[in-house]
Amino acid sequence: MNAITSASAIRKVHVPLGQRAYDILIGQGLIASAGGEIGSRLNGRKAAVITDENVAPRYLDALKASLDAAGIASAAVVLPAGEKTKSFEHLINVCDKVLEARVERNDYVIALGGGVIGDLSGFAAGIVRRGVRFVQVPTSLLAQVDSSVGGKTGINSRHGKNLVGVFHQPDLVLADTDALNSLSEREFRAGYAEVAKYGLIDKPDFFAWLESNWQAVFAGGSARIEAIAVSCQAKADVVVADERENGQRALLNLGHTFGHALEAATGYDSSRLVHGEGVSIGMVLAHEFSARVNLASPDDARRVEAHLKAVGLPTRMSEIPGTLPPAEVLMDAIAQDKKVKGGRLTFILTRGIGQSFVADDVPASEVISFLKEKHP
């Protein structure tokens, strides 16, 4: 991997995937300069901008003005905000709108928003005309450090989260850190769970840095840009090594198997649980389960929980508002997880901070017993 570079306060992470290679730009003011950045790298002349009702009033006009200035005609599709938008109904609507805008293969679908918009828009871009160019303009921390990078797109099914989708790499990612200033504290904390995840996977020094510097990351400035750049580089490294999640890319799902089950159990109701909160609880559960099966010290689980709790994230199932279904129902959701192969349960477990690994064939009996123990 190329090292992160800096120029004019813009950090760049390059994702070298051959003909599908692309850059991730991280810095201030990138929405206002998006047209120039896109136009200088790609050669399309039309764009369908997909966004949601929360993001559109803040950033849509600035993005469209930038595209206009670069000679890129654009049409906007504004969707409801929230996880429930990742549905077949909205996918069909977006595909129709992209075709109505006469977007051709060398033109663009531009995702302006958080992870929901990015996942849905990327799926549409991957299937309309059998694939059109795709640009991510992530406006949440979670999207900037995780979902906008790597080409995984999709929607939810009644059977579980992200079970329908395609791999479709973006052609460019523009992570405008100014956009994070408009996030609520809850939204920012939820994204931070994914930042912490990279330290817990295989970067213990980064996790220790976060323990000492998380307040500066929350405050903004250089520490925030550094945390985002390190996270993007970490994800890019894994994606390049295993683009289609045939092996080590599964490490990026640390905490997600438990977390996705909890999201499904709440009906993807963001008033109860958002994705990053599910990941936070899931990462604690993964470390606790690892300790339970004698892979890691209980002290590691306590350290993970202490840090996530310090930043204000939930770390226990009991912190989710409302009533959760029985452990058996959570287990059913886990059994639908995309990482299940041949009916065998696959979890991301750990031997300590920054020592995560893919564990195949985890005994279901151990998992259900653990879930019953942790269930509120």
Q: Which residues are catalytic?
A: 130, 152, 194, 235, 245, 249, 253, 256, 260, 275
Q: How far apart are CA 41 and CA 296, in angstroms?
A: 46
Q: One-letter amino acid identity for 119? A: D
Output b/e per residue, 162-186; b: 16+ Cβ within 10 A. bebbebbbbbbbbbbbebbeebeee
Chain mean position to CA 100: 29
What are 319's two structure tokens? 């912190």
Is residue 305 within 8 A of residue 282, CB to CB? The reply is no
Q: Which are the contacts of 286, defined by CB distance < 8 A and separation ≥ 6?
A: 254, 255, 257, 258, 347, 348, 349, 350
What are 249's two structure tokens? 């890319």
- β-pairing, 108-113 with 46-52? parallel
List 172's β-bridge partners, or say none: 23, 135
Q: Which are the contacts of 47, defined by CB distance < 8 A and separation ≥ 6?
A: 38, 67, 72, 73, 74, 75, 101, 103, 107, 108, 109, 110, 135
Which H or E run contains 100? helix 88-100
